Amino acid sequence: MNLHESGRGTQMAFRIRWLCTACFEIHLDNQKKIVIDPYLDDCANAPISSDQIEGCDCIFLTHGHYDHVLDVGKLVQRFQPSVYCSQEVAEALIEHQGIDPERFIPVAAGDNVEEDGLHVEVVRGVHVDFVAEYQRLTGKDIVSDTGGDFGKMLQKGLEAFLGPITPPEHLEEWMLNYPAGEQLNFVFDTGEDKRIYMAGSFPDPSLIEVARNTRSFMTLLQVIPGRTLQGLEEKVVEFGLASGAQIIVPQHHDPLMVGADPTDLSRLRSLFEEHDTEFLEFVPGHWYSYP
C-alpha cells in the first residue's frame, strides 16, 4: 500500500485531502477537523460539493477573494466552526453571507492560535500583483489597455493568465463583494515534527525567511495557474525549498474557470526532484494519511 494513501488500520498523525483551488480538509489525530479556503459549489472542477465535507471545527482563510470563501457560510451553518481570518475578510463575510460575527476570530501575521490542543502559527503571505503580472506576460499596461474599466480589466487579465476562459456569471459581483484583505499563511503543528505549511502566496523574495522559519514537513505550495507560471518556476521552487519540507504539494494550479489552459507542472517537478524533494500531486478528493 502506498504510504500516502488512505492508511487503513494505521494510527495517523493526520489525514489530508485537496479539494481543488486552495481548499483543503485536514483531520488531526486529536480529532480536530480543519478546512482551509472553502470554495467548492461554484468551482469549475471541485471533486465534491460543500455538503460532502466530513467535518469542520475550524476554518482558516488565507484571504478574502471569492475563490477562497464562497462556501464559508454553508460550513458555518452545518458545523458552527471558529473562522480565522483578517478583520476585513470577516466584515465582508458577515455582510454578504450573513454569518454570525461571533463565529469569527480575526488574526494577523505574527499571531498564534491555540484551540483545544490545536496550535497554528499565522505568518505573512503576498498576493499576486494582477497589474504587474499582466505587464510581465503581455508587455502592456492593463489600465491603458482597458481604459480603466473594471470589468474589462478583469476579463483581459484573466485571459492573459488563463487563456480563453468562460468566467462565472457573478464574477464581477464576487470580486467587488469579497476584498482580499491581509494575505495570511498558516503553519499547523500536528506534533511529531510534522508541521503543515499552507503557503498560499505569490513567491515573493521577501517571504524566503518566513518560509525558512516554518520548518515544515509538508508545504501546500501555491502554484500560479495557467500561463502565469511560465517564467516563475525557479522562484516558486526557491520558495518551496526554503520551507525545508520533505513533501511539496502543489495547489491552486487547477483550471480556475471553464476553458482555462492547463498548468504545466513538469518543470516544477524536475526542479524539486533535482533537490531530492518529493513533489506530490494530490488527486482531488482523495485522502492521504501520515503516521
DSSP-assigned beta bridge partners for residue 14: 28, 290
Give the model's pLDDT for residue 6. Answer: 36
- The pLDDT tens digits of the residues spanning 179-210 come to 999 999 999 998 777 899 999 999 999 999 99
Which domains, from first to last, does the chain contain?
Answer: 14-129+175-290 (3.60.15.10), 130-174 (no CATH)
Give the three cell numbers for residue 18: 485537496
Residues of the chain where predicted confidence (pLDDT) is lower than 70: 1-12
Instruction: Find out whether 34 and 25 touch, Cβ atoms under 8 Å.
Output: yes
Give the model's pLDDT for residue 8. Answer: 31
Give the model's pLDDT for residue 2. Answer: 32
pTM: 0.94
Give the model's pLDDT for residue 10. Answer: 35
Give the model's pLDDT for residue 13. Answer: 81
